[in-house]
Structures are given as structure tokens and as C-alpha cells.
Amino acid sequence: MPLLTNHIAAITGAGSGIGRAIAEGYAREGARIVILDADPEGAKETQRLITAAGGKADVFRLDVTDREAAHKIADEVTTKVGPVSILVNNAGINRRNPITGDDAAVFKDWDDIISINVMGVFNVTHAFLPALRETKGRIVNIGSIQSFVHVRTPNSAAYTTSKHGVLGFTKAMAAELGKFGVRCNAIGPGLIETPLNAQARANNPELVRIFLDHTPLGRPGKPEDIVGPAVFLASDLSQYVTGTIVMADGGYRTI
Ligand code: NAP
């Protein structure tokens, strides 16, 4: 029996990497998928993959930094598809530059990363709150090992700050929405091979080595490695789980 039958799952950044894998995984478990992405081409490809496998998916173009658009799209989704019962706040960016670098670059990194990774999570969550309350829904936020650590991941102050923020927001939402039957949890991926870090992996093998030296399972993750935890947190398997983060990091935080 599929685990997400009768659910409607909205996933931001589902046009690539981890978001696409979660979208395909949720569709396999019977959910109808709402792909929310700023990248229309990637979003359409995710829709094609889901449809080809016999699932259902709709695409809505959304830049998560646009609060007004998030509310408009949330209303449109409710009208055209139905009330969303699972929201995955996955869209995110990263850049690795030292805070001691050129001011203009430091300011741009800070503004872009905080806008997408923190404000975006708030914008989309707030926009879908009526639907999530109606359905006693589940929110899954994508954190990171950088929701906890920074020392081995230098030159990414804004990203570390943003992912600590995602974890804080996860706990706050769990505390505040529990009385409505809405659960909120996070996933903390380790190094997962996606377009997000393709350039860093290609240009900085030392960074990859540092990650793998601290990864007991001895390999980088694939987007598919995040699907199991994401299904667990969206399904009734986790009906008494809220306010926590499931690390999917090959054991990175243990050493
Ligand atoms: P990815 O392959 O780059 O996918 C991210 C998706 O989000 C892309 O489709 C991107 O579109 C979209 N996006 C970016 N900005 C957006 C915006 N303002 N509004 C809507 N969509 C937007 O990255 P990923 O590795 O799968 O990352 C997904 C999440 O996992 C992120 O939150 C990331 O921080 C987190 N994470 C990743 C890793 C890792 O090692 N990969 C580790 C820990 C946590 P464009 O292509 O047009 O930018």
C-alpha cells in the first residue's frame, strides 16, 4: 500500500537535485505533486519524469523570494489542484566566499542566500498555512549539516546562518502548529551530488576529501538518499514526530 495516497505535495525547487528526487519519490508513493520552481525547464522535466512513471504532477512557476506571488500561487493551487497536505521547503542556494572578501560580493551573497533559504521558507510556509491547517498537513524543511556545524565548511557564513535559521523555524512551527495537527520537521543532508555543488566538487577536490574524511559511510550522497527520510516525515509513519531534524549525512556529524 503506497504511503502517500490521497496527499497533495507541494515541493519548492523540485526542478532539480534533491527536490526532483523527493517529487518522484512522493509520486511513487501515490501523492499528487505540485512542482514549485523558479526554473521552468527543470520543473517541466520533473513533471515529464513523474508523468512517464504513471504519476500526476502540475507545475507552477514560483520564485520563493516573492511573497505576494507565493500567496497568489498557493490560492491558485488550492483552486486548481486542491488543498496541499505536504509542503517541502527545498529550494535553496549556496555560495562559498570569505566574509573578508570584496564588500559588494559579500553583501550580494548574504542578501541572496538569506532571501531564498530563510525568507523563502517563511513566504511559502505562510502562503500554504490555510491548506496545511485544513488538511492537518506536514511540513518538511531541508536543512543541512550546516544547521549545526561550520568549522569544516568555511567561507559560507550566510549559508550556515540560513540553515541554522531553517532548523529554528522548523522547531518554532512544530511548537506553534501542533495544536492544529500540523507537523513540521527537517532533513539534514550531508554532501549530496547535485547541480548545487557540481562546480565546487569539480574545482575543489580538497573540499570533497574533507567531507568524505568525516563521512563514516565513505561516499557522497545521491538525491535518492534523501527520499526515504522525506517519505517518512510526510507519511503517517512519523505521526508522533515533530520539531526534529533527521540527518541524512552518511554519519558526518558523528565524527
Ligand atoms: P539544486 O540542484 O541547485 O536545486 C535547487 C532548485 O531550487 C533548483 O531547481 C533551483 O532553480 C531552485 N531555486 C533556486 N532558487 C529558487 C527560488 N528563489 N525560488 C524557487 N526555486 C529556486 O540544489 P540541491 O542540492 O538539490 O538543493 C536542494 C536543497 O537541499 C537546498 O535547500 C540545499 O541548501 C539543500 N542541501 C543540499 C545539499 C547538497 O549537498 N546538495 C546538502 C545539504 C542541503 P535554478 O536551477 O533556476 O536556480
DSSP structure string for 99-146:
TTS-HHHHHHHHHHHHIIIIIHHHHHHHHHHHHHHHHT-EEEEE--GG
The whole-number average pLDDT for the span 55-68 is: 98
- Give Cα 143 to chain centroid, integer Å: 7
Interstrand relation of 32-37 and 138-142 (parallel, antiparallel or unpaired): unpaired
Q: Whose CA is nearest to atom 31 of ligand 1?
A: 92
pTM: 0.98
Whether 225 is in a domain gets the answer yes
Whether 158 is in a domain gets the answer yes
CA dist 145 and 147 (Å) reads: 5
Q: At what angle do helices 157-177 and 103-114 cross, to 10 degrees?
A: 20
Q: Say whether pLDDT at 150 is over 90.
A: no
CA dist 215 and 252 (Å) reads: 4
Question: 188: Cβ below 6 Å to ligand 1?
Answer: no
| CA 144 to centroid of ligand 1, rounded, Å | 12
Q: Whose CA is nearest to atom 19 of ligand 1?
A: 63
Structural domain that includes position 200: 8-247
| CA 90 to centroid of ligand 1, rounded, Å | 7
Whether 148 is in a domain gets the answer yes
Q: Whose CA is nearest to atom 10 of ligand 1?
A: 13
Q: Say whether pLDDT at 24 is over 90.
A: yes
Question: 3: Cβ below 6 Å to ligand 1?
Answer: no
The whole-number average pLDDT for the span 113-141 is: 98
CA dist 92 and 164 (Å) reads: 13
Q: What is the CATH number of the domain that holds 171?
A: 3.40.50.720
CA dist 229 and 238 (Å) reads: 10
Question: 196: Cβ below 6 Å to ligand 1?
Answer: yes
Q: Whose CA is nearest to atom 17 of ligand 1?
A: 63
The whole-number average pLDDT for the span 179-203 is: 97
Count how many domains the chain has: 1
pLDDT for the residue numbered 207: 87
The whole-number average pLDDT for the span 121-143 is: 99
The whole-number average pLDDT for the span 103-116 is: 97
User: Which single residue is written with the C-alpha cell 539534514?
Assistant: 188
Whether 255 is in a domain gets the answer no
Sign of the torsion angle spanned by Cα atoms 236, 165, 154, 107:
positive
Percent of the chain with pLDDT over 70: 100
Q: Which three cell numbers stand for residue 201?
A: 566538487
- Alpha-carbon Rg of the chain, whole angstroms? 17
| CA 150 to centroid of ligand 1, rounded, Å | 19
| Residue 159 designated active-site | yes
Better-predicted residue by pLDDT, 39 or 28: 28
